[in-house]
Chains A and B, each alone.
Chain A
Amino acid sequence: MTSVGPTTGPSTAVPETTASEPAVLKAPDRFGGRLFSANLRQNGIYIAFALIIALFSILTDGDLLAPQNISNLVVQNSYILILAIGMILIIIAGHIDLSAGSVVAVTGAISAVLMVNNDVPWPLAILITLICGGLIGAWQGYWVAYFGIPAFIVTLAGMLVFRALTLAVLGNQGIGPFPDEVRTIANGFMPTYLGNIGLGPLDGADLLTLLLGVAFVAGIVITQWRARAGRVRYGQSVEPTALFVTKLAIAAVVVMTVIVQLARFKNLPWVLVLLAALVLAYSLLTDRVVFGRHIYAIGGNFNAATLSGIKVKSVTFWLFVNMGVLASIAGIVFAGRLNQAGPTAGNGFELDAIAAAFIGGAAVQGGVGRVVGAITGGLIMGVINNGMSLIGAPSEQVMLFKGLVLLAAVAFDVFAKRRAGTAR
């Protein structure tokens, strides 16, 4: 290293890249131990997910991973997962949203009134519903961001207000049925284009779907590989090649397994495609977009964010708008799936979404969390629900297990942080 001691004086201009610094490249080895424990903390959730899947696969004699069941798992949990995406962003910023379930109900009702009662064409109806969701979010965001009322209170009020609006709109009865297109989005499958390739273990799988799956996996591998190569070029420390390849391989196998299984059943559910697009978009938002970075800054230290010129109020406001839009997507999907908008729709969804976020590694104080983590957290709960119902466990046992998993996940996180010495 060039010695930039106090006597030489620091260079405050942005210096030349230090890509050729061997010390930097050696970093993974020197700090290998620490890297591993950091990895364990970040990846603990995925290991837990794998263990839970393994457990229920054994308990259900493999029924858990049967094609039809995987399909059910995705479709049944899609609306919670959509909510979890919005929820994790809000939790990262240090807030909470208790109204999500009621917003699901009221937006489902709005879409039903539009499509069913007033024969509005379905694309227009969906658009209007999304706008309504955004306005609901704007209402709550205004009180939280600009008026300074804690989100807990604002959204607790919202939970009551929007449930009341749902009942007023629906007159205490369900409205249905929905147009076929909407039902397909919520409940249907991609058509088979290239047909059955009819080969041994891939029995009944659609060729196009398989090709899509391969393309998707290839896309992941290529982008990850290029990102890693970019980091190496800039002299950043990267995880060891073996670990990197192993992780990619596991991800590829898991994704392909799921796709093959789904293709063998009725092909990919449309909601899975929707969900995949949302996860991808929001992961990029949080990792690579200025707005996303500001969310972490606000949750990590509100005062420091304010004094760094971040428009904390505006960011908070738009987070709630975003949550409203996502909740309305969930509302349409849920109503479409039941083929009816009902007054009790979405009851308790917010709690599932919040639990998903925390199981997925979000911190109560804010500033920490990932979209993929929240999705994994949601899937863990989905697998527990699904697996336990497959083995015929009564609902109180399901609740008990889910509660303990939530507590254990957060306890592990707190414990790991304390060990790492970063607890605040």
Chain B
Amino acid sequence: MTDVILQMRHITKTFPGVTALDDVNLTVRRGEIHAICGENGAGKSTLMKVLSGVHPHGDYTGEITLDGQPCRFGGIRDSERLGVVIIHQELALCPNLSIAENIFLGNERAPRGVVNWNRTNAEAAELMQRVGLHENPTTPAMDLGVGKQQLVEIAKALSKRVRLLILDEPTAALNDDDSAHLLDLLRGLRDQGITCVIISHKLNEIQAIADSTTILRDGRTIETLDMTADVTEDRIIAGMVGRDLEHRFPEHEPRIGEEVLRIEDWTVHSPTQHGRVVVSGANLSLRRGEIVGLAGLMGAGRTELAMSVFGRSYGIGISGRIFKDGREIRLKTVGDAIRHGIAYATEDRKRYGLNLIEDIKRNVSAAGLNKLATRGWIHDNEEYRVADGFRAGMNIKAPNVSAVTGKLSGGNQQKVVLSKWLFTDADVLILDEPTRGIDVGAKYEIYSIINHMADQGKAVLVISSELPELLGVCDRIYAMSAGRITGQVTREQATPERLMQFMTKVKEQ
């Protein structure tokens, strides 16, 4: 057997109501680049958090051995001491601190508690040299682009004498040049004996760089592929999507009517990164009674597209046209969007969807409160009746509508969010990751609700990272990649492989 640096055996990790990892095994050889693949929600990030001690020992079951030694990490510091360093998807630099300060954050070059700035900056410069970052060590991190910030993170990892470097989607936010540079750097680190575990959605990158690839699906290990043999993208896709579509979705016979919403040439710029185009020239149309999917990998611009349409709640420099029932409309605020019968149920219920300290009743009425009031005066008994109606109709499991939403399970929270939007009488519902963080049984209920919405003549746009879900629920599916709509397939034509090709299509010149 070859030299194994890391073994994770029978790892199981549950969150309230959801099993994120189910008996996962992972073996990483010393000095290789090991890719981890899977759809969003397959458990990749959770697995890496277990490995790096973010989820400490005791939070999961199973065992981790590093160099043959069993490890029980109580936190990130424990894992870092053994040379396991994780770089998260969202970069964790302090924007106001210099590159050098960031590199040695928590690990200061400070004999007897006093920072030695000369040593700090000199050692930082050395590390920056190793990762190919040609900047002044005293430059604040916020003055760097995302690509260079990524390099700072890697330099930071190197400063901790990293042996096993974990990168969670390192190239998701990078442009092609920066990505290429980063991949070169990882090869260089491998040659220096550093083992890398890389989570990536970009299959061409995995093909280019990985020595082996482990595929996760629904919290389980599916297989580990040796990439030195000739592995095609299609082979990886087949592993990622699986073939278990039976009985997970309710039967539905669509009754599709005329077009209700059309978006033309929709372009959105990033509000935080100057000049970055997030959605580019998107065209999209929805018809009554139709469930339309929007597929795409992380960073493809799906949420950004939806939110910018929903009363410009995301983005700047938005251009394009929206037609509702054939007439052009302008949606400058969320209020405008709601008045025109458009609803957007967010992908992040807790941060953007619910007032978690309030009860079900007040969350259900939040967007349509004016319907329950005459001249600003709320009829609270009517409000109760409406909310209780949704509780019964949606099968929200709570003793009554005075239950605080923060205590409900993910599925029930999602039903509250959907109730809120149905109460606004919207006829176009954009549902962003409607089943994220929801267990399988509740997912079935949500799908039934979506079907029911369509049966009532509403147009539903489902944004999802789970291809089986889109294939099981939607009548038609758009695919996005890098801000563009790269393809459209009908239910009959749709296969996971075909969608994944659209979703991973890098811009064609």
Residues of A within 8 A of B (CB): 1-2, 4-7, 9-18, 24, 27, 30-31, 230-231, 233-237, 287-291, 293-294, 296-297, 300-301, 303-311, 363, 367-368, 421-422, 424
Contact = CB atoms under 8 A, between A and B. Distances in A.
Interface of B: 250, 310-311, 313, 333-335, 337-338, 344, 346, 351-358, 362, 365-367, 369-370, 373, 376-378, 380-381, 384-386, 388-390, 392-395, 399-400, 402, 404, 406-407, 420, 422-423, 441, 444-445, 448-449, 451-453, 456
Contacts of B356: 300-301, 422, 424
Given A13-B393, A236-B400, 6 more contacts: A14-B423, A234-B384, A293-B369, A300-B356, A305-B355, A309-B338
A306 B313 CA distance: 8
Contact of A234 (B311, B366, B381, B453): B381
24 contacts: A4-B392, A6-B445, A9-B448, A10-B393, A10-B394, A12-B456, A14-B389, A14-B390, A18-B392, A234-B384, A237-B402, A287-B380, A288-B378, A289-B378, A296-B355, A296-B358, A296-B362, A301-B351, A304-B353, A304-B355, A307-B334, A307-B344, A307-B352, A308-B420
Contact of B395 (A5, A27, A231, A294): A5
A288 B395 contact: no
A131 to B, nearest CB: 23
B388 A304 contact: no
A241 B151 CA distance: 67
B344 A12 contact: no
Contacts of A296: 355, 358, 362
Nearest to B346: A307
Contacts of B448: 6-7, 9-10
A300 B355 CA distance: 5
Contacts of A30: 399
A301 B346 CA distance: 14
Contacts of A287: 380
A208 to B, nearest CB: 32
Contacts of B451: 9
The B interface is mostly helix, strand or loop, or mixed, namely: helix
B389 A15 contact: yes
Contacts of A300: 355-358
Contacts of A422: 356-357, 404, 406-407
A29 B313 CA distance: 44
Contacts of B456: 12-13
A309 B334 contact: yes
Give the residue among A7, A14, A236, A308 with the most B Cβ atoms within 10 A.
Answer: A308
B386 A289 contact: no
B399 A293 contact: no
Contact of B386 (A10, A14, A367): A14
Contacts of A2: 392
Smallest CB-CB A-B distances: 7 pairs:
A300-B355, A308-B367, A15-B389, A11-B393, A6-B445, A309-B334, A309-B335
A251 B255 CA distance: 59
A291 B407 contact: no
A293 B334 CA distance: 18
Nearest to A368: B357
Contacts of A363: 357
Contacts of B388: 17-18, 24, 235-236
A62 B278 CA distance: 72
A304 B352 contact: yes
B385 A301 contact: no
Contact of B337 (A230, A301, A309): A309
Nearest to A231: B381
A14 B385 CA distance: 8
A14 B423 CA distance: 8
A129 B334 CA distance: 37
A291 B386 contact: no
Given A9-B448, A309-B334, A293 B381 contact: no
Contacts of A5: 395
A323 B362 CA distance: 25
B393 A4 contact: yes
Given A4-B393, A27-B399, A306 B354 contact: no
Nearest to B336: A309
A4 B354 CA distance: 24
A12 B453 CA distance: 7
A406 B351 CA distance: 30
Contacts of A16: 389
Nearest to A422: B406
B400 A293 contact: no
